Structure 1
């Protein structure tokens, strides 16, 4: 994941890179195919969020990383505990989200139920974790967090909340019968009144002889008697009009009310409103109890997330054969049998193996700084994959995860810089090459000795010799000034000659094999350098017309006759290593006239001069300027 910054202002210090560039999503914006998607085996939303946060902010303290690795190691070794905890976590609700909604007054009965279930799940998890023999510090911290919420709240919520809960508290009906006697009495009155309405409807139907008579309700009229239009005149005639009072006539119905119905409606409305108000009072009281121990509940939610991440990374390690890395405060960087976590999973789904490769950027004997690997080889051979996999392994190690390798020893990386791929930013007036240079400038201005830098194809977006010159100078700067651990992939084979002059520069290449005019990619990284890029073979694989391929081969044969490699080796001998002239040497010598002019200006005393004297001095200085 890249950590890029805008170009520095001339004369000013370069700005710090934006740390949250290391987001767990692809450049296209979706999560599928990203590192987070490849390693996320969490079973809760809180665990997934915590894993994403750790990816965006890896640790730089070996002791803290070691504590996280210890927690993962426990669940790697104890598969039964891992699966039991994951089963408990699957049933645990998202307490963090529930607390957030309750805190801002937007919570509902289901949020209270989530807190209840979360506390009960915490008790289950504690019971299972207590069987561990001397749990490491990270797991012990999670256990302490899970033990904080009072079980009394869960018991109170279990007594208060019904089995079926509405989404919104205003709907009512979420308090269990028997929890509050006053509420039960009010509900009985409300329900009994409704039975009275049903019996009243039957009595009115017998009284009027209208079997289709109904007592209905709406928010405008309240309760009313409704008959069809053909029976409306009957109810409006004596003697029934003494009982039934006309309210409304519609196309097919006539509506009436009675004094008895009005009295019953008042009782029903008061009972229903009173029951709802009592439930809302109970909800507010329970919500207040939960918010009073909000810190404990949030701590428990974080404890769940910590356990989820630890067990998820342990499952990943077991399923995909990851190993525990050694992380220390050195400048070491030695990875044996490293694999790209995302690409490996994609190949596994297709039934294909991933070719593992090793990388050692550790300081060599006699040198205090890490190595700079110059990687050459054809397109499609795996150079970019190799660069990224080593960066991702370092990132995984520093979030406290096992890594895809057979052995890994990583000295703390304080900054991870990446210059990979091609993209423009035309809306801000930046071409593809300008974006490449902006990102390269950020790396060269900011990378320190503890940084890890991966660069892919620097200088390819401009003219050949311009690009070669930029890449040449960048390698020298990384070697002599930044002195950081670096992987530098390039198609400029001339750069491999620098290994003769730069002691920490190591040439590596990706192995390929030609077979009947085609190229076979073996994806193995070996010491050495490539003498060609096989670009025409790759173009053929891409489907370029045969006429284009034939013409390209003809042109290439003529260009290779110039033997630019020999010229590059001669150039290394001609250019002194890192020959950056000083500013004094770079500027031309000052002329005698300029020296006299400076001396005349220094002799002036403006505060002591009259306006006339100042004008005379100005004309005198002008006269000293060189003619023309």
Structure 2
């Protein structure tokens, strides 16, 4: 439609129409609503067009129409005649080369062509000198001398070139006319072709989802109007494929459909997930978000069972990225995205948050994460997965009745940590960051010194202050202060009445004293 297609595009449409007819026969009697509608869309295209395209286009097609040679022999008589003339002229060129070689006695003589000289005779340098002398110079006209070769033209070659060029141009012109006719035929049936393409897309998605469900043991989710989110033995569809053959994927349950303790109405629940790096927290967050997306797209999901209340918005704050071109650091980007979540998510939203507050000072980050969890619980009241290394936040479960602590299971063996990738109820007592650093290859001296510093810090029992905070501080103690209405500024009123261009020096001096006398001091 945009006049940018080529011969191969025309052939693809023709082949697609043939395939559409075959698909229509396969799905015609399924009785399924979407597949029946797809079958109707596949049956609409006129198969006469597919036959027309197949008859018109050659087997081996060029990419661009200007290259020619894409119309099948026998499709257009005038084209076949012009091609015959063009091909016969080429045979005449070959016979002419043979005759010139015999007449001059130079077997290495060649008749060649380029875009500058057209057709020309080329001989080696030593033979070219004889062409410059009589009687050969009467037949061969010198055109170009090169290092090791000389080029000549003849009147006979010039006439033959004009005949060949005309035949080639006429043949290409006829092919372009055929191309334009085929394009018009396709555009006349464009609505039916688009309907077939849409139907094939529906079948493609349905078949792909069915293949995944059958081969990967995915389940059919229950999606309803509740606020439930109960998934059993869920897996991450991409990570599972990536590690296949190397290690089994550890499936995990997730249940965010608890009650708020005040009514029987299901409410969203927040899971606060702690545990070491590399243990699978981010994978767990993402896989549950993907389950929600797949379920609401109408697909089966990678789980043993799934009951999901409709999610109106899905929010994700995972990973680290900056936006330096706009003056935003990594932490600023994190805060902007967190702000969007806290300001927009509602009871039907699903939120996954990973490591909020880790990009700034420890106590700054802990304070932000603490307040964010409280806001999600009391204001947003959404279903949420909140992964963190701030173990101090786990004490919030004593006050926030819909907050549950979960942790990633690990095992220590001879000073090393083994990640089990299992999510269980409870809270981690530490992050095993030093063990992860050791796995990453940090020098042994750095690892040992880090152990010493950690032991000294843990001896101060940093968790004690947070326990007192959860007992002593009320939720949302820092209530927003009301904004006072702006008051009139007498100095500004006085300035509004002045026009410096019309004031004399004396008047300006007096106005300055008046401003000084009217100055308002801020208490």
Q: Which TM class, normalised by the smaller chain length?
A: 0.7 to 0.9
Paired position in structure 1 for 2:73: 177
Distance in 2 (alpha carbons) for counterparts of 1:491 and 1:401? 34
SS of equivalent to 1:349: coil
Question: How far 1:323 moved relative to its partner?
Answer: 1.6
SS of equivalent to 1:359: strand
SS of equivalent to 2:273: strand
Distance in 2 (alpha carbons) for counterparts of 1:249 and 1:460? 76
Question: How far 1:335 moved relative to its partner?
Answer: 0.7
Residues 333-382 of structure 1 show CA distances to partners (whole Å, capped at 9, x for unaligned) of: 111111122222232231x1122111111142625530011112233322
Question: How far 1:397 moved relative to its partner?
Answer: 2.1
Contact in 2 for aligned 1:232/1:254 (Cα 8 Å): no
Paired position in structure 2 for 1:144: 40
Question: How far 1:309 moved relative to its partner?
Answer: 2.5
Which of 378, 383, 396 matches 2:276?
Answer: 378
SS of equivalent to 1:526: strand
Question: How far 1:453 moved relative to its partner?
Answer: 1.0
Paired position in structure 2 for 1:28: none
Distance in 1 (alpha carbons) for counterparts of 2:63 and 2:123? 37
Which of 323, 339, 343 matches 2:239?
Answer: 343
Distance in 2 (alpha carbons) for counterparts of 1:230 and 1:518? 85
Paired position in structure 1 for 2:292: 394
Which aligned pairs between 1:445-460 and structure 2 lie closer than 5 A?
Answer: 445-460=343-358
Paired position in structure 2 for 1:530: 428
Aligned length: 503
> Are residues 1:358 and 2:253 paired?
yes
Question: How far 1:563 moved relative to its partner?
Answer: 3.7
Which aligned pairs between 1:233-272 and structure 2 lie closer than 5 A?
Answer: 237=134, 244=139, 246-248=141-143, 250=145, 252-253=149-150, 255-258=152-155, 262-272=158-168
Question: How far 1:481 moved relative to its partner?
Answer: 0.9
Distance in 2 (alpha carbons) for counterparts of 1:280 and 1:231? 42
Question: How far 1:450 moved relative to its partner?
Answer: 1.7
Question: How far 1:170 moved relative to its partner?
Answer: 2.4
Contact in 2 for aligned 1:172/1:276 (Cα 8 Å): yes
Change (3 A) 1:622 1:498: farther
Contact in 1 for aligned 2:350/2:384 (Cα 8 Å): yes
Distance in 2 (alpha carbons) for counterparts of 1:174 and 1:429? 55
Residues 104-126 of structure 1 show CA distances to partners (whole Å, capped at 9, x for unaligned) of: 32322222111111111112222
Question: How far 1:403 moved relative to its partner?
Answer: 1.6
Contact in 1 for aligned 2:226/2:266 (Cα 8 Å): no
Contact in 1 for aligned 2:20/2:196 (Cα 8 Å): yes
**Could you tell which deviates more after superposition, 389-398 or 260-269?**
260-269
Paired position in structure 2 for 1:91: none
Paired position in structure 1 for 2:374: 476
Change (3 A) 1:208 1:385: closer
Contact in 2 for aligned 1:331/1:363 (Cα 8 Å): no
SS of equivalent to 2:244: helix
Contact in 1 for aligned 2:258/2:266 (Cα 8 Å): yes
Distance in 1 (alpha carbons) for counterparts of 2:443 and 2:130? 92
Contact in 2 for aligned 1:322/1:403 (Cα 8 Å): yes
Which aligned pairs between 1:436-515 and structure 2 lie closer than 5 A?
Answer: 436-515=334-413
Residues 415-464 of structure 1 show CA distances to partners (whole Å, capped at 9, x for unaligned) of: 22222233333443333332322221121111122211111222233333
Contact in 1 for aligned 2:273/2:427 (Cα 8 Å): yes
**Could you tell which deviates more after superposition, 567-576 or 186-195?**
186-195
SS of equivalent to 1:571: helix
Q: What is the TM-score with the length of structure 1 in the denominator?
A: 0.70
Q: What is the TM-score with the length of structure 2 in the denominator?
A: 0.83
SS of equivalent to 1:255: strand
Distance in 1 (alpha carbons) for counterparts of 2:339 and 2:399? 24
Question: How far 1:152 moved relative to its partner?
Answer: 1.3
**Could you tell which deviates more after superposition, 536-545 or 317-326?**
536-545
Distance in 2 (alpha carbons) for counterparts of 1:416 and 1:438? 16
Distance in 2 (alpha carbons) for counterparts of 1:500 and 1:286? 74
Change (3 A) 1:578 1:164: same
Paired position in structure 1 for 2:500: none
Structure 1 unaligned residues grouped into runs of 5+? 1-102
SS of equivalent to 1:583: coil
SS of equivalent to 1:471: helix
Paired position in structure 2 for 1:309: 205
Paired position in structure 2 for 1:133: 30
Paired position in structure 2 for 1:282: 178
Q: Which has the higher contact order (CA 8 A, sep 6+)?
A: 1
Distance in 2 (alpha carbons) for counterparts of 1:115 and 1:390? 40
SS of equivalent to 1:362: coil
Distance in 2 (alpha carbons) for counterparts of 1:217 and 1:544? 68
Residues 583-623 of structure 1 show CA distances to partners (whole Å, capped at 9, x for unaligned) of: 25x99xx9xxx9xx98999xx9x99xxx99xx99x969956
Question: How far 1:486 moved relative to its partner?
Answer: 0.7
Question: How far 1:392 moved relative to its partner?
Answer: 1.9
Contact in 2 for aligned 1:337/1:406 (Cα 8 Å): yes
